[in-house]
Amino acid sequence: MLPKIFCGNPPAQFQAHSEEIREAIFRVCEKGPYILGSEVASFESEFAAYHTAKHCVGVGSGTDALSLTLKAFGIGQGDEVITVSHTALATAAAIVLSGATPVLTDIEEDYYTIDPLKIEAAITPQTKAIIPVHLYGQPCDMDPIMEIAEKHNLLVIEDCAQAHGAVYKGKKVGTIGHAGCFSFYPTKNLGAIGDGGGVITNDNDVQERLRRLRQYGWDLKRISQEPGVVSRLDELQAAILRVKLKYLDADNERRWAIAENYFSSLSAMSFNSPTIRQNCNHVFHLYVIKTKERDILKRALAEKGIEAGIHYAHPVHEHPGYQDKIKVSPLGLDVTNKITQEILTLPIYPELDAPLVCETILRLAGECTFV
């Protein structure tokens, strides 16, 4: 039996950079301040520079990044926002938190991201924005999305929670629409040791409003100009993220190497491996295959100590708590409903011993019907 292997392993990344992370933590603990100090300001500057964006605003989570960005653009009660059902629930949750209604449309089967051909059918007079989700590290097809948005005078807010460093036709995701929203949850390609999120934008007014909204609606004199929340990226997490940001591109290259190992080792098997969009850089937050024998393979791997995942077994429209909060596109969600029965996430993170996982799957092929 192998030591248990999970889809992600945040402690392994801590160990990879432990000396620098410990120094960063001690630096914050010894000098303070602990909330919205120099570490947050420095991380915001560095993360914006990484994207060649004007601004980054650190917030408490990726969900808050999306919901506060919607509010900063004036989107709320009575408005509709088009996105996908095949995503982390956080995408829809953020839209609901803003007061708007998620309108769920279908995805491209090869890429798992929003199908541009299905967007216009979901547009109504109440539609104010599109949130394309760069899922699993794969960029959405942004050119046609931006064309549709311009045609219908809609905002585009990119959900980049799973795509730190991904590139679409020479542009980093998050820089193509009107704002890019990121999660720094521990399992992400750029992960903190706790919750965290951030927004990048070139819009001066939006970044100013975001800075108010994340802290009671305060202006620089601590006078509230509008109702706000408490959603602040704290100094400890910012210091940790500053360390990890230096290694993001190298870690993404390691993810690519692991993905290539999967591609070559498992090419003879009956899985559908991920398809890479042309002229894009997939950063493999997750390595997701499709197989009609998904449940058999998942159980067999678990018996060998490999905990494969399903991202996501239940699309947004299947969650009882959201069924009265959403609308579904008139074109339906046929592809979404189909692929959720077949997708399986294999372990992938920079420190993974990928050959070990591949060898295990290949051995299982002799016992099951995967080839």
106-119 residue pLDDT tens:
999 999 999 999 99
On whether the CB atoms of residues 261 and 356 are closer than 8 A, the answer is: no
Q: Which one is the CATH code of 248-365: 3.90.550.10, 2.130.10.10, 3.40.50.920, 3.90.1150.10? A: 3.90.1150.10
- Per-residue DSSP letters for 285-317? SSEEEE-TTHHHHHHHHHHTTEE-B-TTSS-GG
The per-residue pLDDT for 371 is 46
What is the H or E stretch that residue 149 is in? helix 142-152
123: which 2 tokens? 């547009």
Nearest Cα to 145, choosing from 122, 168, 177, 170? 177
Q: What is the third-level CATH fold of 10-245?
A: Aspartate Aminotransferase; domain 2 (3.40.640)
pLDDT digits (tens, 9 = 90+) for 144-166: 999 999 999 999 999 999 999 99
d(CA 273, CA 283): 15
Nearest Cα to 132, choosing from 157, 103, 161? 157
Mean pLDDT for the stretch of residues 298-319: 96
pLDDT digits (tens, 9 = 90+) for 158-216: 999 999 999 999 999 999 999 999 999 999 999 999 999 999 999 999 999 999 999 99
Instruction: Look at the block and give the residue holding tokens 């924005």.
Output: 129
Position 369 pLDDT exceeds 60? no
Position 232 pLDDT exceeds 90? yes
Mean pLDDT for the stretch of residues 119-148: 98
Position 86 pLDDT exceeds 80? yes
Q: 32 pLDDT band (50/70/90 cuts)?
A: confident
pTM score, whole prediction: 0.97
% the chain with pLDDT above 70: 98
As to burial, measured by CB atoms within 10 angstroms (0-12 exposed, 13-18 middle, 19+ buried), residue 265 is: middle
Domain definitions of the chain by residue range: 10-245, 248-365
d(CA 220, CA 362): 60
